[in-house]
Amino acid sequence: MLDKNIFSSWFTFIENQYGQKDQSFKEIYFEMLNDIETGDFKAGVKKLLSQRVYNSFPTIAEIRNACLVDVDSRAIMAWQAVYDAISRYGAYGTVAFGDKVIHMALEAVGGWHRLCTSTIQQLEFLKKDFAKAYVSYSFTPMETKPYFAGICDQQNGSVMINRIGCNYLSESESNKQLAYVAGNKGSAKQIMAEIKNKIAFKEVQGGAA
């Protein structure tokens, strides 16, 4: 989450360059940007102030885009995380990535085992498919599995998860992604089921009346 004092300090820098704004304007900006990590916000504003050529006050979308890693760059970093995990754990290891969009993309290209048993040449082709899937699911996420079970755990009936962090992803973004993990309390699928049940219950009540 974005520290409000840090936001105020950096917002003042923006005002000094583009003009003063009233408190209500400032509050709206904070409300719309407060899910960004403080470090990402500072880095983004620095980039914005050094690169922007327009005289108008930056929009919320401009500031947000400056603070967040673009999805194509993130797809490249996500693939690197996958490639490193393949080298380190292979098909025998059970893995869970901090970035759950990786899980969605992995399922789209055939799963963890397929990548682990592919040749280097095959991985070059799968890399392109993975990147396309990653970008797509970044905008339209789907429910995904919490981890990919390795051969050892499948054979032993145990679960020893190797958790792989993705430092390009902010903590708030990572927490939001948990809603798409199958079986999680508050997952997207569970929420939709609860909504449907409530609607059905209301319809029954209405019919009974």
**Final residue in a domain of this structure, among 31, 49, 67:** 67
Q: Look up the domain containing 59 and give its range.
A: 4-67
| Higher pLDDT, residue 194 or 18 | 18
Verify that 89 and 162 share a domain, yes or no: yes
| CA–CA distances in Å: residue 88 to residues 75, 83, 93, 95, 104 | 20, 9, 9, 10, 21
Residue 202 has pLDDT above 70, yes or no: no
- pLDDT (tens digit per residue) in 25-83: 999 999 999 888 787 888 889 888 888 888 999 999 888 878 877 778 889 999 999 99
Position 208 in a domain = no
Structure tokens at 193: 């089921």
Position 201 in a domain = no
> Best-predicted range by mean pLDDT among 75-79, 190-194, 198-202?
75-79
Position 46 in a domain = yes
Residue 170 has pLDDT above 80, yes or no: no
Verify that 93 and 15 share a domain, yes or no: no
Structure tokens at 196: 């449907």
Torsion of CA 196, 199, 202, 208, to 10 degrees: -70
Position 123 in a domain = yes
CA dihedral sign of residues 50, 15, 55, 61:
positive
Position 200 in a domain = no
Residue 102 has pLDDT above 70, yes or no: yes
Verify that 121 and 94 share a domain, yes or no: yes
Residue 138 has pLDDT above 50, yes or no: yes
Verify that 54 and 88 share a domain, yes or no: no
Position 131 in a domain = yes
Verify that 56 and 138 share a domain, yes or no: no
User: With bands split at pLDDT 50, 70 and 90, how would you rate the model's confidence at 134?
Assistant: very high
Verify that 60 and 83 share a domain, yes or no: no
| CA 35 to mean position of chain CA atoms | 12
Verify that 29 and 113 share a domain, yes or no: no
DSSP states of 48-94: HHHH----SPPPHHHHHHHHS--HHHHHHHHHHHHHHHHHHHTTTSE
Verify that 41 and 132 share a domain, yes or no: no
Position 128 in a domain = yes
Position 148 in a domain = yes
8-state DSSP, 146: S
pLDDT of the residue at 53: 86
pLDDT of the residue at 207: 54
What's the total number of domains in the chain?
Answer: 2
